Amino acid sequence: MGFKESIWEKIVEEDRGLVLITGETNSGKSTTLVSLLQHILDTQHKKVMTVEDPIEYALRDAVGQAVQREVGVTTTSFYEAVKRFLRQNPDIIMVGETRDEETAKQAVRAAETGHLVFTTLHTNDASGSVGRTLDFLGNTEESRHRLSDCLKYVVSQKLIPREKRTGDRTLAVEIMVVNGAIRNNIRTGKSENMRNVIQSGRSEGMMTMEQHLVYLVTKGLDRDVAIQSANNRREMESLLRQR
């Protein structure tokens, strides 16, 4: 998966709340989601319901049960699917992409009512993902409090070249765990402070994209590729000089 096993375990053991998997198109978001959901199905008695556009991977029933719906085929929209899901007693809901206000509000509502909700956004980092979600929700004091109460994790990711000769790619991630400090930043609208919390939160499993890229350089990633892939190139160069 490209991130710490302990974080994987913590995410799949959550009973409720919102988990955001974010990144640009072709950044591996769907693969990450399927890996998480299939692990849950293989190990837990959970009912997993997904709505996707389109369905990219078929989930297998195992210990748990999967129900997959496709926009334009078995449902009219992400919003309508989630609204129907809530009447069918799911444990886990996956929304393939949050694109609009209605879907965002329904995803938060599902997380608030005792479900574990996964969804994706086209954003590059954790603080930007929080900002985009708040924009969908209206960015009011009430919406900031609601999001701070239900958001659990943000995983922002990129697939970057690992081997120029073969075209192989590797996953680089930024991980934000919503602790007390992050929750307070969401409530007060101080998203610019979140990065500092992530940088200093390695003991809780957090790391910035740049911190993970430095780790990948120690495993053989080309330094120039790391710098080009960073969200903050100046910080990336500084971290590499400190090695």
- For position 190, which CATH number holds? 3.40.50.300
pLDDT of residue 165: 66
Residue 184 sits in the same domain as residue 237: no
**Is 115 in the same domain as 84?**
yes
Q: Mark whether 127 and 217 lie in a shared domain.
A: no
The pLDDT value given to residue 1 = 46
215 and 182 in one domain? no
CA gap 115, 118 in Å, rounded: 10
Domain count, the chain: 2
Domain that holds residue 96: 5-207
Say yes or no: 91 and 169 in one domain. yes
Q: What is the DSSP-derived secondary structure letter of residue 86?
A: T
pLDDT score at 8:
85
Per residue in 159-175, pLDDT tens?
999 866 667 899 999 99
Is the domain of 223 the same as that of 128?
no
177/236 same-domain check: no
Give every CB contact of residue 214 below 8 A, 6+ residues apart in sequence: 226, 236, 239, 240, 243
Task: Tell me, yes or no, whether 57 and 107 share the same domain.
Answer: yes
Q: Which residues, given as ranges, of the chain have pLDDT below 70?
A: 1-5, 163-166
The region that residue 12 occupies, defined by phi over 0 for left and psi between -120 and 50 for alpha, beta otherwise, is: alpha
Is 107 in a helix, a strand, or coil? Answer: helix
Q: What is the dihedral of CA 185, 114, 58, 100, to 10 degrees?
A: -50
194 and 237 part of one domain: no
Burial of 72 (0-12, 13-18, 19+ CB in 10 A): exposed
Q: What six digits make up the tokens of 200?
A: 């200093």
From first CA to last CA, the distance across the chain in angstroms is 25
Q: Which pLDDT does position 160 carry in this prediction?
A: 95
- Quick check: 32 and 23 in contact, CB under 8 A? no
| Range list of H helices, the chain | 5-13, 29-43, 78-85, 101-112, 126-137, 141-150, 180-188, 194-199, 209-218, 223-229, 233-241
pLDDT at res. 191: 83
Residue 237 main-chain phi, psi, to 5 deg: -65, -40
pLDDT, position 192:
82
Closest alpha carbon to 64 in 85, 47, 50, 88: 47
Residues 151 and 215 in one domain: no
Which residue from 115, 65, 123 is spatially nearest to 95, judged by alpha carbons?
Answer: 115
pLDDT at residue 212, rounded to an integer: 96
Same domain? For 200 and 174 the reply is yes
Task: Give the whole-angstrom CA distance, residue 161 versus residue 15.
Answer: 35
Q: Tell me the sheet residues that pair with 68.
A: 50
pLDDT on residue 2: 43
**Are both 196 and 217 inside the same structural domain?**
no
